[in-house]
A and B are shown apart, each in its own frame.
Chain A
Amino acid sequence: MNKKRLILGATGLNNTDNPGPGIPVIRSIRESGRYDLRVIGLAYETLEPGIYMRDLVDKVYQVPYPSEGSDVLMERIAYIQEREGIEVLIPNFDAELFTFMKAENKLKDLGIRTFLPTIQQFEERHKSNLEAFGKKYGVKVPKSKPLTNLAEIPKLREAFDYPLMVKGKFYDAYVAYNDEQVQMHYNKISAKWGLPVIIQEFVRGTEVNVIALGDGKGKTIGAVPMRKQYITDKGKAWGGITLDNSDMLALTDKIIRGTKWRGGMELELIRTPENDLYVIEINPRIPAWVYLAVGAGQNLPVALVELALGNDVPPFTSYETGKVFVRYSWDMIIDLKDFEAISTKGEI
């Protein structure tokens, strides 16, 4: 059988100790064997390990950070598109999603299809809007408050008990036990991710996660719950196990049905000792542990590609419980000329 030709673009090649989902997404699509695949990696930094994984990524272009402006990024994408003819692009960074969502029509004009959440879906699930999200969709969420200046910190005691969580709008989360610690984390987070910094009630319990894919019409195409078994000091899963938990799946369905979620999603949940599930974050993209879902029987990246191509995708009906992933680190040896190429020419 002739395989369908697919030219795929993907970001998030930073397969570091705080990994982007790009490499596991590419690996999932490549290993499906479904496509005659050419992968175009888009990298922000010259030492993103995925740049040098030549068995997974065929060609890599360096792209400017979205913070440098949407026009600069789109100009670079147009240059790449002229040479490569990308058919489907999967952006994998929270910080770049807004830019790519805004540029959806421009990308379409270039012949590049995406399958991303709508701006409304993206905005209303923001950590700073989580309380309103909980009310609107009838899900439990921790109390939260966006902070935009240090003077608000002493007043936090009126509304919150310590400890509480201090979070960046895209990444980073720290527990704080007093005002001084809030201030320290506020300064660190705001310098890195900007404002607001989000204060969130600390919900005691076990952190569990769900990876899911919504078809944009209210249907869940796939969902796999997971519990992190080994967590790095950055809070990232370095090992995890798939769960058989109907409550988590029902909550995922409720959110996808209510929001008519379009695209990949990661739900970060806390299960309390009373077995209540609190939504602490909704990440609007496929998470880096996606390969566990693939190993358990749901190749969600392939389903996402098919949705982006406008094809009907039947929902997955099962997955294997008790599948475990264990991440590891691996040293690659690269030639200086490769590093030189990406550093000077911006492509390799």
Chain B
Amino acid sequence: MRAGQGMRIGNILAAFYAAAIYGFIFLPVVVLVLFSFQDGRFPIPPFQGFSLRWYEELLADRRLTAALVNSVFVALLSSAAAVTLGFLAAYGLARFRLPGAGLQKALLVAPLTVSYLIIGMGLLITFNAIGFPRSLLAAGIGHVVINMPLCFAIVFSQMGEHQANAERAARDLGAREWQVLALVTVPMMWPSLFASFFLSMTFSWDEFIISFLLTRFDVTLPVEIWNMLRSGLNPKTNAAGSLVFGISVVLVLMLELTVLRRRRPA
């Protein structure tokens, strides 16, 4: 009897604790999104009514929409490059015996251990030295540097022996190397390629410091939002932040629903 009661009190405490932490986790997001609909000039209580005017201002802001398009381009292209390079390297290192393979793997994942600020700064100083201008291209190069190790690690970890057997079979039946790669390996590796692509997309989409250091006139969305912060608290910044958050959540949910669902036991 006493044990049962203790159990019940434990469950109630657990529920309270979980509710408190979830509250803490969601508080800033809820405040951000709620006051993006504020019908007034300040994103602080009291809530004065529901309005979409800040979203309208957002869409009318040329600099902001340009930054949004830039962000999408940088995210798409840098992720495509990161996945391609990472996949090819994973294939080479998983399927062939190369001298110094351990060292190569260590080199490929090394950027994961260094903070974005330092990676961005190194690129900035180097690009300055060779006269390469600060631009979206420069930021994109930086995004490939941070995302390729992740793509490589994900794809490499999923390259198993049964896929190697299928590749051998294809080769025995006369397929050329590129045919094996394009018609056998890529379709088999599709889930992990997809996962690394979307993960790269979300990281590139949210990345600030490298873009901040390496872009100049054309900037990405997080940099433009950073510029907006100078005007202080403003419902328009809330609207921009809510939009970024919404797009990130859509990307994550797509990843969750398409790739991760397959791995779940039925």
- Determine if chain A interacts with chain B: no
Question: Footprint of A on B, CB under 8 Å?
Answer: none
